Structure 1
Amino acid sequence: MMPVNPNEIVVSAIQITAVDGEKEATVGKILDLLDTAGQRGTQLCVLPELWTGLGFSDESVYRSIAEPIPGPVTHRLAEKAKKYGMYIAGSMYEEAGSDYYNTTPLITPEGRIAGKYRKTHLFDAPNRTDIPPGIMESKKVKAGDNLDVYETEVGKVGLSVCSDLRFPEIYREMALKGSEILVCASAFLSPRYDHWEFFLRARATENQCYVVASGQYGTEPKSGLSFVGRSMIVDPWGTVVATASDREECVTAHIDRAFIKEVKQRYPLMEQRLPELYPTLRGV
C-alpha cells in the first residue's frame, strides 16, 4: 500500500442556482451536494456567495433570507462538517442586531465556527444598464473590516467574496499573513467568464497560493440575473486544476501543499518585494 502524502488535501467547490423565496429547497440542494463532497473525502468545501438566497428579486427580500451566525443554517452545515470531518465556507446574509452583512463563516470539522469574514468590497454598480435595475449592495449590507487568516488542519486559509476579486490588495495582505489557500465564495455575473478566470488565476499566481472558488450558476428566475458558474480550483502556478461544468454540481480536486513551497523556491516573489517603492499603498 502506497504511503499517504501528508501534504495532499482534497478540496471541493459546490455551485448551485439559489432561488429567492425557496430557501429550504436551496439549503437542501447544498446539503445533498455536501454529502457528495464528503463521500469524496473532501477536507475543505467552498459554497457560493449568498447560497441561501441571492436577495436580488426585490429591495427587501434579503431580510427574510438573513439569519444570525451561528444560527439554524450554520448548525446544519456543522452537522455535515462533523459527519465528514471537513471545513466548510460559503457566504450568506447575516442578521446581526439591526445590521446585515454578506458573511462567510468558516466551519471546522468539529462543527465550530472558527471565524467569519464579512465582505469588505461591496458590489455597487448603480449605472450598469446590463444589470436591471442596477445593484447597490451597500444599501442592503454593511462592509466588513477585517482580513483575518485562519490556521487550520489543511493549512492557513484566507476568505473572500466575489467582487473582492477585483482588489488585489486584499489577497496580497492575506498572502503576507501566510495564507496558503485563498477561498472565494462568489455570485459572479454573466457573461464575464474571461474576467472570472483571469482574476482567479492572477490571484493564485501573484500570491503563490491555491485558490478555491465557488460561484452561483445559471439564471435566478425571480430576478432574471445570470451567473458565470464555472467554480474553479487554481494552483500556485496559475494552472486551473479543476473546473465545474455548466450545471449544479460539486467539483473536487487533490492539491499538494508542498507545491506552494516549490513555487516559492522557483520565484521568491514575497522576498523580492520592495515596499519602499509602494508608498501610495500605505494609508491611502
Structure 2
Amino acid sequence: MHPPPTGDTLALALAQIRVEATEIDANVERALEAITRAASRGADLVALPELFNVGYFAFDSYERHAEPFEGETFSRIRAAAAEHDIAVLAGSIVEDLAATESVVTPAETGLANTAALFDATGELQLVYRKHHLFGYQSAEAELLVPGERVETATVGGVTVGATTCYDLRFPELYRELIDAGAELVLVPSAWPYPRIEHWQTLSRARAIENQCFVATINGSGRFESADATLLGRSTVYDPWGTTLASSGDEPSLVLAEIDLGSLERIREEFPALRDRRL
C-alpha cells in the first residue's frame, strides 16, 4: 500500500489505445474517446502514445500522412482538451516541418516525430520532437530528422517534460530534463515485443536515477507489414522506481496520482542528485 498524498497532486491518465496502421480517422477517434473517458474519471492530464494517428510501424505512409503542426490531428486534440477541461500530451504525429507555421522548428524541411502538450484551455505549453531516431529494423532514422529542443511546462503545479520511446536508452537526455526542473517525464512510445525487460528496466532506471516520476505510454495492436506487436504495459513509476499503476497489452486507461510531496521527501531523505560530481 502506498502512503496517502502529502503535497500537491496531479491526477494522471495514460491512454493505451489500439493503434492500427494508417487508420488515421479511427485512431484519432480512439484518442478523442480516451480523452473524454480520462476527463470523466477526474484526470488533470492524459497522455497518448507515440504516432497514435498513423502508427509507428507504418513507415511507407509517413510522408503521405505527415501534417503541419497546425493540421487536423493536433487541432482536434487541443479542441478536446479545452472542451473537457483536461491537459493532453498528444503523444506524437509525423510533422511536416516545412508546412508548419507557428512553431519553431529544428530544420526548415523534413519530417519529425513530434509530441505536443496542450493545457486544459487548449493552449500549447510544450513541443518535443524525438531526439533519438530508431534504426534497428526500423526506417524511422532514414525518414525523419531529430529534434534538438528540451522543454518543460507546468501542469497542476507539477513540472512536466517529455521524451519519446527510444529516448529511454539515453540517460543524458533525462539529466537535461531534471536540470530543467522536471518532476514528471512522460514517455509516449510504440514499444514492441519481445523487449519487455528493456521497456520496464530502462523506465524504472530513469525514475530511480533522476528521483522523478516517469510515465510510459505505449500503444496496443499489431502491424502485419512490419511483423511487430506493441507490448502495451503503460506504467507510472514513482521516484523510488516503484510501480504506481500499469496495464497489460490490451487497450486500457491507466490512472495514478502524482504526489509532489513524496518526490520532495525522497529527494530530501536520499539526496543522490545533490551528490552528483560533474
Structure 2 length-normalised TM: 0.90
Alignment counterpart, residue 146 of structure 1, candidates 133, 143, 149: 149
RMSD of aligned residue pairs (Cα, Å): 1.6
- Mapped pair 1:101 → 2:104: no
Residue 52 of structure 2 aligns with which residue? Answer: 51
Greater shift in the superposed pair: 73-82 or 181-190? 73-82
What is the percentage of aligned positions where both structures have the same residue?
32
What is the 5 A alignment of 1:66-145?
66-89=66-89, 90-97=91-98, 98-125=109-136, 134-145=137-148
- Give the counterpart letter for 2:46 in structure 1: C
> Separation in 1 of the partners of 2:134 and 2:22?
22
Point out the more displaced range, 112-121 or 162-171: 112-121
**How far apart, CA to CA, are the structure 2 residues paired with 1:122 and 1:232?**
22
Give structure 1 stretches of 5+ with no counterpart: 126-133, 276-284
On the 8 A contact 1:101/1:141 being kept in 2, the answer is yes
Instruction: Determine the structure 2 residue equivalent to 1:244.
Output: 247
Structure 1 residue 21: Cα displacement: 2.6
Distance 1:168 1:215 in 2: 19
In structure 2, C-alpha distance between the alignment counterparts of 1:179 and 1:191, rounded to whole Å: 30
Matching residue within 258, 265, 268 for 1:265: 268
* SS of 2:88 mapped into structure 1: strand
1:97-132 Cα shifts (integer Å, max 9, x gaps): 14210001111111011121000011011xxxxxxx
Q: Secondary structure at the match of 1:24?
A: helix
Shift of 1:55: 5.0
Counterpart code for 2:26: A
**In structure 2, what residue type is equivalent to 1:210?**
F
SS in 2 for 1:41: coil
C-alpha displacement of 1:222: 4.3
Q: Deviations over 1:61-104 (max 9, x none)?
A: 11222211122111211122112322211111111114210001
Contact 1:55–1:61 under 8 Å retained in 2: no
Which residue identity does 2:235 align to in structure 1?
Answer: M
The CA distance in 2 between the partners of 1:260 and 1:73, in whole Å, is: 34
Residues 1:227 and 2:238 aligned together: no
8 Å Cα contact 2:79/2:122 also seen in 1: yes
Q: Distance in 2 between matches of 1:115 and 1:31?
A: 20
Q: How does 1:195-234 map to 2 (within 5 A)?
A: 195-234=198-237
Residue 179, structure 1, aligned to residue 182, structure 2: yes
Q: Tell me if the contact between 2:20 and 2:221 (Cα under 8 Å) persists in the aligned partners.
A: no
Match of 2:191 in 1: 188
